Structure 1
Amino acid sequence: MDQPTGAKRCSVAIDDVIKIVADPQRRHILSYLSSNSEIHCSVTELVDHLQTQATETDQSQRQLRQRLHHVHLPKLQDVGLLAYDAEAQMVQYTERPRLESLLSHVASLTESVPSESAADHDE
């Protein structure tokens, strides 16, 4: 799969990174891709993985696939974190050690902070 122009960027702007990691599904996508031994992944594999994750809203496979195709994968491609071939339904991850470190840190923070709905019940 050829990398599109956006995927060849050497660095990712901090504002882009903050916007990307602000979305839980994009964090799951990047965490999965960065922990996978293969740099290529099918959209079907991503959908299956995301459905196993505990998210705020349950989405059907069709809804999740559409959201990946129209929202998440293009945004991640635009900032150079992956290459997405919509026709072949394949994703190629671009390794970013600093981003992976940030994702790990954000994951540890989200695990240690109770959810807002749980905090509301304590009041």
Structure 2
Amino acid sequence: MDEAFDALSNRRRRDVLYYLHQADGGRVDVCDIADTMTAWEVECLETVESDHFRSLLVSLRHVHLPKLAEIGALSYDRDQDTVEQSDSPVIHDWVDLAAVEELN
């Protein structure tokens, strides 16, 4: 339980789960997640910085996605560079609750 709450305490990890929640299932390319999250973080699609994108992509691949996979929130295929949302109802409930509190 502590590991799950620790993982979800990070904004970028929650953003990955929000993205997957909106993606309606299936495998998603990590670059697509990084592209969308970069736009969210800089708050304007026209000003997306390539350095910001690259930095985010590295942190997703080496820190955030492995951590989320470790707690069972998603599956991460490093070879294909894709992720898929977990089918865990507990994870879905946590993401729903966090989204209501954080995004509304």
More helix by share: 2
How does 1:35-50 map onto structure 2 within 5 Å? 35-50=22-37
Residue of structure 2 in register with 1:118 after alignment? none
Tell me if 1:22 matches 2:9: yes
Q: How many residues align?
A: 97
Cα drift, residue 111 of structure 1 = 4.9
Secondary structure at the residue paired with 1:37? coil
Under a length normalisation based on structure 1, what TM-score does the superposition of the two structures give?
Answer: 0.68
Cα deviation digits, residues 23-66 of structure 1 (max 9, x gap): 001001011112212320001111112112247xx861110110
What is the identity percentage for the equivalent residue pairs of Structure 1 and Structure 2? 26
Report the Cα distance in structure 2 between the residues aligned to 1:65 and 1:74, rounded to whole angstroms.
13
Under a length normalisation based on structure 2, what TM-score does the superposition of the two structures give?
Answer: 0.78
Question: 2:73 touches 2:91 (CA, 8 Å); kept in 1?
Answer: no
Cα drift, residue 102 of structure 1 = 1.9
Letter in 2 for 1:81: A
Segments ≥4 residues shifted beyond 6 Å = none
Tell me if 1:80 matches 2:67: no
User: What is the RMSD of the two structures over their aligned residues, measured on CA atoms?
Assistant: 2.1
The gaps in structure 1 that reach 5 residues or longer are 1-13, 113-123
How does 1:1-123 map onto structure 2 within 5 Å? 14-54=1-41, 60-111=52-103
